[in-house]
Amino acid sequence: MISIIAAIGKNNELGLNGDLVFHLKDDMKYFRETTLGHKVVMGRKTWESLPGKLKDRTNIVISRHDVEGADEHISDIESFITENQDTDEEIFIIGGGSIYAAFLPYAKNLYLTEVDSAANADVFFPDFDKSQYKKSIIKKGSENGIEYTFVKYTK
Ligand SMILES: NC(=O)c1ccc[n+]([C@@H]2O[C@H](COP(=O)([O-])OP(=O)(O)OC[C@H]3O[C@@H](n4cnc5c(N)ncnc54)[C@H](OP(=O)(O)O)[C@@H]3O)[C@@H](O)[C@H]2O)c1
């Protein structure tokens, strides 16, 4: 099964200049706890934005070119989706914008940190029809005056 995990702003903001828009400690912790032990799939630009491999997870990078240092490299998204969308194993798509857009129609779960703030961004989470999902609120919090909600959408 394919799941998406992302932190998004009021206007679906995801990233700016190759970096995250929001740096929330609690969100980083939630991301780590949720994805630990799983396969994590990311685009080459997100891979390059990381300080290193995400520990205790299988790091899978999508690129049309060779990738150094990853556990696995995918160049064909369609085959990967066909092989993985009906598995019991939960595989996490961790960004960025182009990769969320490619996987969104096939994702059973969306773990979104909905940040109640707008920000400058050059990469955005794709719009999706929320009426197609069941929405569960996992937790609300705030950090440095920024409020956020961990929401899980399930199809
Ligand atoms: N807020 C969040 O939760 C969150 C999470 C992750 C990332 N981000 C942010 O999002 C931004 C990066 O997103 P992005 O959309 O610019 O880049 P990205 O999705 O991380 O990576 C794009 C790259 O992935 C590869 N790719 C994309 N589609 C492909 C396909 N169909 N087949 C093969 N390879 C494909 C290409 O790599 P090649 O060019 O090597 O072929 C492409 O250049 C950064 O600012 C990052 O900080 C935010």
The finding on whether 63 has its CB within 6 A of some atom of ligand 1 is yes
Atom number, ligand 1, closest to the C-alpha of residue 95: 6
Catalogue all structural domains in the chain, each as residue range(s) with its CATH number: 2-154 (3.40.430.10)
In this structure, which long-range contacts are made by residues 20-29, counting pairs with CB atoms below 8 Å and at least 24 apart in sequence? 20/49, 21/119, 21/120, 21/121, 22/113, 22/115, 22/117, 22/119, 22/146, 22/148, 24/113, 24/115, 24/143, 24/146, 24/148, 25/143, 26/141, 26/143, 26/148, 27/113, 27/148
- Ligand 1: centre distance to CA 91 (Å): 17
Ranges under pLDDT 50 in the chain:
none
- Position 97 scores a pLDDT of 98
The finding on whether 49 has its CB within 6 A of some atom of ligand 1 is yes
Atom number, ligand 1, closest to the C-alpha of residue 100: 19
- Ligand 1: centre distance to CA 19 (Å): 11
pTM of the model: 0.98
The finding on whether 93 has its CB within 6 A of some atom of ligand 1 is no
Q: Which amino acid is at 151?
A: V
- Position 71 scores a pLDDT of 98
The finding on whether 99 has its CB within 6 A of some atom of ligand 1 is yes
- Position 69 scores a pLDDT of 96
- Ligand 1: centre distance to CA 109 (Å): 20
Structure confidence by residue, pLDDT tens digits, 56-89 = 999 999 999 999 999 999 999 999 999 999 999 9
- Position 126 scores a pLDDT of 98
